[in-house]
Amino acid sequence: MILILTAPDDVHADAAEVELGRRGVSWVRFDPADVPSRASLSVTIREGRLTRTLVRHAAPGDVHPDGTGDRVLDLDTVTAVWFRRPGVPVAPAHLGEPHAGFVVAESRQFVGDVWETLDVPALPAARPVVLRAQQKVRQLQLALRLGFDVPATAVGNDPRDVLDLFTHTGGRLITKQVGLTSLRDELMRFTEPVSHRDVGHVDGVRHCPLIAQERVPKRVELRVTVVGDRVFTAAIDSQRSNHARHDWRRQDDRNTPLTRYDLPTDVAARCVALTRALGLRYSALDLIVTPDDRYVYIEINPTGQYLWVEEETGLPITAAVVDLLTAPAPTPGAST
């Protein structure tokens, strides 16, 4: 039984479920945001045995196709868990503050504890491992150790470091946020070039840490998806679009085509090595290919999206994800 932890509108999970069904593999999809409002999660110990049970409550008048109401899952039957896009527990609607905040905090702690007791393979990894793997400075440190070409970088809230890097790069500088996401979409920062006018406001860096990097010349950008020891690479022709020139996330389909790309063997091996060094079984890396054919590391995302790459290029990433979820668990103590 594959446990997929994600939101109801996750198209990646939709695609994986189709593939799992085609292979005759059973799965359960659950959003942790349903605890405690629409689902119960419990752990009991009786006569020296620990039991974990998930119950999804039927809404009033809701009956499942088999004529039953609540759905009960014995978590001992789970053989692998995929932390795709799990939501945060939501308090019952009738609770106000501070009670709602307390319920969310307690539920979040408990739900995370339960997932940690599942002694089964996890994709991309157990949650504490994923959280640690998201740390950008540690990513850069490991990338350097593994021999990646890394741009000149300054991370932090010291304006002097940013000014020094601006001078060092001859004004060819970009900045981006330290975290993967923002609590509010309108506060999310794309990668932006730094102008001489921006430098006049550099003291503002003191108020919030950021990442400043040398602006690397681009021939194309690469999205490298690592699934286990398999590597799938797509080229993003971001320089054809003024919108995507500095950050391909602003791409538009007409002016920013994606194509399959043959990544050199040594670079592919380095991508797998970085994924493993972070304790992950899945990752999405962003690289730049320069006009003089250097492969420059930009960042790695432990939970990066991939379906858009598969749909544009036909790379069989979903099948590789399902292969990993359904593979036999490694023998304890064996190397992976």
CB-neighbour burial class of residue 127 (10 A; exposed 0-12, middle 13-18, buried 19+): middle
Annotated domain spans of the chain: 2-131, 152-214, 217-323
Contact by Cβ (8 Å): 185, 245: no
Task: Report the candidate in 64, 65, 81 with the shortest Cα–Cα distance to residue 1.
Answer: 81
Contact by Cβ (8 Å): 39, 56: yes
Could you please state the CATH topology (level 3) that the domain comprising 217-323 is classified under. Answer: D-amino Acid Aminotransferase; Chain A, domain 1 (3.30.470)
Mutual orientation of helices 265-277 and 136-145 as an angle, nearest 10°? Answer: 130
Q: Residue 123 phi/psi, 5° resolution?
A: -125, 130
Distance (Å, whole) CA 143 – CA 274? 7
Per-residue pLDDT of the chain (336 residues; tens, 9 = 90+): 999 999 999 999 999 999 999 999 999 999 999 999 899 999 999 999 999 999 988 665 554 554 445 788 999 999 999 999 999 898 888 888 888 899 999 999 999 999 999 999 999 999 999 999 999 999 999 999 999 999 999 999 988 898 898 899 988 998 888 875 544 444 445 577 876 777 767 887 888 898 989 999 999 999 999 999 999 999 998 766 555 555 545 555 556 689 999 999 999 999 999 999 999 999 999 999 999 999 999 999 999 999 999 999 999 999 999 999 999 876 555 544
